[in-house]
A = this chain, B = another copy of it.
Amino acid sequence: MNVNVFKETFQRYLTMVEQTLAQLPWGKDTLNESMYYSLIGGGKRIRPVLALASAEAVGGQPQDILLAAVSLELIHTYSLIHDDLPSMDNDDYRRGRLSNHKVFGEAQAILAGDGLLTYAFELLAEPGHFLPERQLRVIKEVAVAAGKAGMVGGQVADLAGEGKTLSLEEIEEIHKGKTGAMLTVSARLGGILAGGTEEQVGALTEYARALGLAFQIKDDILDVVGDSETIGKPVGSDLKKGKSTYPALLGLEGAERQLHVETLKAQSALEPFGKSAAFLNDLATFIEQRQH
């Protein structure tokens, strides 16, 4: 892994994502302000970055899929706003800043989330440089990944599992819905819109599934051993809420081992791409080693 090349590429993608988000036509009213507040609250932008890198891995131009890529961040942000609500996880802070409902109130936070989710589909349907059939396929896949069989379903299962001891299989099911489905569809979106073959899209899917699990295991580990300043939320909050985690089930060492297995699995799925997937390969290493 050439750390400098990786960081430069990451920064290039990040700049594209941040610029695109900032240049969307935001109004000056409370609704736009509340949507923008959470959207611009930092975060790793893993989903759009994954989409851009996947487009590049199959030989496409990342800038052609920018609106679709940032739509993934809108959906992710809406889910965080709703998850933080008092009736859900009741989190006052997100990424080290006050959560949306602490700033704008509960009603406005619900509507900010609704607005972001809806705006995401507007961006996905924006006329672009793609075959309309591909664009429709992507919209359907994103809706499935974000919906009852994916992210929303995972959140319901997560809430239902609080305070219970879950098996490894059960927590993998929750994570597949809650974070895995959207990460997977992010890679697929990039591959499909940029005209990747079915084999390439399949390889990206395999990569992103393993990466998603690795991401979640690392999240759980950081919640135990991380630094609250660095991760932007109190350490031990999963434990406090009675959430089942990988470290709780496998021990810290077992979780680290599983993290490494998933990282290698992700990287081996990239073999058919060769050099064009160098960034995705490094991204897996980066996620394994991240400190926040």
Contacts and interface: CB of A to CB of B under 8 A. Distances in A.
A121 B133 contact: no
A156 B88 contact: no
Interface stretch (A23-31, A220-228, A257-265, A276-284): A23-31
Contacts of A29: 153, 156
A232 interface: no
Contacts of A30: 156, 160
Contacts of A82: 110-111, 114
Contacts of A85: 107, 110
Interface in A184-231: none
Nearest to A124: B139
B115 A152 contact: yes
Given A119-B147, A143-B122, A147-B119, A152 B114 contact: yes
A114 B106 CA distance: 16
Contact of A27 (B78, B127, B148): B148
Given A135-B136, A147-B122, A88 B110 contact: yes
Contacts of A114: 78, 82, 113-114, 117, 152
A32 interface: yes
Contacts of A160: 30
B148 A118 contact: yes
Contacts of A135: 132, 136
Interface in A143-163: 143-144, 146-148, 152-153, 155-156, 159-160
B122 A152 contact: no
Interface string A79-95: 00010010110000000
Interface of A, helix, strand, loop or mixed by DSSP:
helix
Given A144-B122, A147-B122, A88 B115 contact: no
A115 B147 contact: yes
B121 A155 contact: no
A12 interface: no
A196 to B, nearest CB: 19
Contacts of A133: 132
Pick the 3 closest A-B CB pairs, nearest first. A132-B132, A122-B143, A118-B147
9 contacts: A27-B148, A87-B105, A87-B107, A108-B156, A115-B148, A118-B148, A118-B152, A122-B143, A132-B133
Given A29-B153, A87-B106, A108-B156, 17 more contacts: A78-B114, A111-B152, A111-B156, A114-B114, A115-B153, A118-B143, A118-B148, A121-B139, A121-B143, A122-B147, A124-B139, A125-B139, A125-B143, A132-B135, A132-B136, A135-B136, A136-B136
